[in-house]
Structure 1
Amino acid sequence: MSEFEHLRHKPLSPLERPREILVACPVLRSNINLSRVVRLASCCGVTRMIVCGSAKIDPKIARDGAEQVFIERRNSLPPVLKKYKAEGYTLVGLEQTTSSQNLHHFSYERKTILVLGHERTGLTDDVLSLLDATVEIPVWGLPFSYNVATAAAMALYEYCRQFPTG
């Protein structure tokens, strides 16, 4: 019989350089989803998020992420996405579109903004028109898409897999 010892709060995996990915969120319906994305971002070493509206981050859900991730609050996404695009960021939407690439085969640029969609309506046309690419995650059952926080976890994990040291 194998012996396993449970390690609670194992030391963090070191990054050789800061992550150059930001997460951008429209106004979300659920503060729970937003708080989960903040926690996820922190776990992945993401240090900045763009968040629209006046949504509240629940520190009980976001945990240490609420203190580790700088939240840039905006009224809407298009102006700030244009600014970051001019600074050389690749804008990648997490959305099912006619031109979406399968996340399993997508190669991220190091300097990326991952743009999440609203839980019910997805990405708006004014945001879609600014994107350099859209990625989607295959779904093998119903419903037809993943929860926004779950999908963000898969997309960010794939970015981290491609750039494991930052």
Structure 2
Amino acid sequence: MTPERRQRIEATACSRQMDLTVFMERVHKPHNLAAVLRTCDAVGIQQAHAVPGSHGLPALNNTSQGAQRWIDLHRHADTPDAMKALKDAGFACFAAHFSDRAVDFRAVDYTRPTALVLGTEKFGVSDEALALCDGEVIIPMIGMTQSLNVSVAAAVILYEAQRQREAAGMYAPRDPSGSPQKELIDRWIARDLARRKTPPPDKDENSP
């Protein structure tokens, strides 16, 4: 491993936002799941949560650009299980959902522990999840369409969270020898080295 690669791994791990996350409730299209995880990595989120749809979590496609290797995706049996885990961990849960009580997504304070709840592509966030959320947010729309693709909406909201947190100094590098940075760095380096050491397929003994 080059010093530059190690330095990049350490810098990334030391700016991870452990108290910002997303919960994907039965998001079933591969490109949407992949795109959300790619945005999570881009804004420094380490933990993501999901409840699989009826056919399970979709296989990730190239849209993720390998982001799944750097994100811990936790699978939950159902929505109450996922919401309880988030609540027990101290997260305020906000659903991306159009309703009378929803507020502009920029009005929320994302510097506190926050989970963004995203619903299935066709039906949105379930009533079951909404009943357990602390609030709902909308992205103002001034065109003829009334909503954005779920992965695009996630990106818009998460970059507002990143903006607020960066202004609050929450991306300042942490000590790489501290926890959980050290454990994350060690895990990433070990996995990176293992991938690079994977031997190529054996050649036929008669091949040049």
TM-score (norm 2): 0.69
CA distance in 2, matches of 1:109, 1:161: 10
AA paired with 1:24? F
AA paired with 1:87? A
Compute the displacement of 1:76 (Å). 1.7
Q: 8 Å contact 1:102–1:137 — kept in the other structure?
A: yes
Q: 8 Å contact 2:30–2:61 — kept in the other structure?
A: no
Note the 1:80-159 alignment, pairs <5 A.
80-159=82-161
AA paired with 1:140? I
Percent identity at matched positions? 25
RMSD of aligned residue pairs (Cα, Å): 2.0
Note the 1:1-166 alignment, pairs <5 A.
17-19=15-17, 20-53=19-52, 54-164=56-166, 165-166=170-171
Richer in helix (by share):
2
Compute the displacement of 1:109 (Å). 4.3
TM-score (norm 1): 0.85
Would the alpha carbon gap of residues 109 and 129 (structure 1) be closer, same or farther in structure 2, given more than 3 Å must change? farther
CA distance in 1, matches of 2:122, 2:58: 19
CA deviations over 1:112-158 (Å, ceiling 9, x no partner): 11100111111111100000111100011122100000000001001
* Structure (1 or 2) with the larger CA radius of gyration: 2
AA paired with 1:28? V
Residue in structure 2 matched with residue 4 of structure 1 by the alignment = none
> What 5-or-longer segments of structure 1 have no aligned partner?
1-10
- Runs of 4 or more, structure 1, over 3 Å off, are 11-18
Q: 8 Å contact 2:29–2:58 — kept in the other structure?
A: no
Compute the displacement of 1:87 (Å). 2.5
AA paired with 1:154? V
Compute the displacement of 1:96 (Å). 0.8
CA distance in 1, matches of 2:112, 2:13: 14
